[in-house]
Chains A and B, each alone.
Chain A
Amino acid sequence: DTGVSQDPRHKITKRGQNVTFRCDPISEHNRLYWYRQTLGQGPEFLTYFQNEAQLEKSRLLSDRFSAERPKGSFSTLEIQRTEQGDSAMYLCASRPEQETQYFGPGTRLLVL
């Protein structure tokens, strides 16, 4: 399967714990995006990488959130000291040049 993959698909954690999600983009897609989707809403942009460079971060990305793409391939999104308001679906998308974004299946986070 050569689609965007995300791991884990589901995560349940207690408030205050740290969590890390991984996204593997489609091979050779140099652009990678993270979005957050809460129940009943559309996805909201979090951050964007071109290769390993993080080019934009949304104001939604508080200092508890950090994203990396160290080798320009897979990316990780870490949330420190999770809060109940962080419960959402975290979506990753990738795209090559001159094309549209392809989304992964998402990681659903529940903070208790």
Chain B
Amino acid sequence: GEDVEQSLFLSVREGDSSVINCTYTDSSSTYLYWYKQEPGAGLQLLTYIFSNMDMKQDQRLTVLLNKKDKHLSLRIADTQTGDSAIYFCAESISNDYKLSFGAGTTVTVRA
């Protein structure tokens, strides 16, 4: 199967770190992605990680992958109000293939 699960909501104070978690079931997944969606907009690719990596860092974003537990997380350092959005975890068995998405985590940043 290609189930991807995420917690639905996260509330974080401005300046704190946010951690969004995701689990997937397809052991053949080779690419794992994080997308951001703001209200009424399409999806913006934030970052992705190949399954032979454990971690990837890109400015304020850190992705951690535990392939054994099929667990993916996205950490946003110094969370800002502009980070308020829905964050989707997605997986694919290849970079050429369709994406399977989770239901999204709504992140609300409070002052």
Contact = CB atoms under 8 A, between A and B. Distances in A.
Interface of A: 4, 31, 33, 35, 40-45, 48, 56, 91, 93, 97-106, 108
Nearest to A91: B42
B7 to A, nearest CB: 13
A100 B42 contact: no
Contacts of B103: 40-42
21 contacts: A4-B42, A31-B96, A33-B98, A35-B99, A41-B104, A42-B88, A42-B101, A42-B104, A43-B88, A43-B101, A45-B99, A48-B98, A93-B43, A98-B95, A99-B95, A100-B31, A100-B48, A101-B99, A102-B45, A105-B42, A106-B42
Interface of B: 4, 31, 33, 35, 40-45, 48, 88, 90, 95-96, 98-104
B42 A42 contact: no
B27 to A, nearest CB: 19
A26 to B, nearest CB: 13
B46 to A, nearest CB: 11
B88 A45 contact: no
A43 B95 contact: no
Nearest to A10: B40
Given A98-B95, A100-B33, A100-B95, A45 B42 contact: no
Can you list the 8 inter-chain pairs with the closest CB atoms, starting with the nearest? Answer: A42-B101, A45-B98, A103-B43, A103-B42, A105-B42, A106-B42, A43-B101, A42-B88
A91 B36 CA distance: 14
A44 B101 contact: yes
Contacts of B44: 103
A69 B63 CA distance: 36
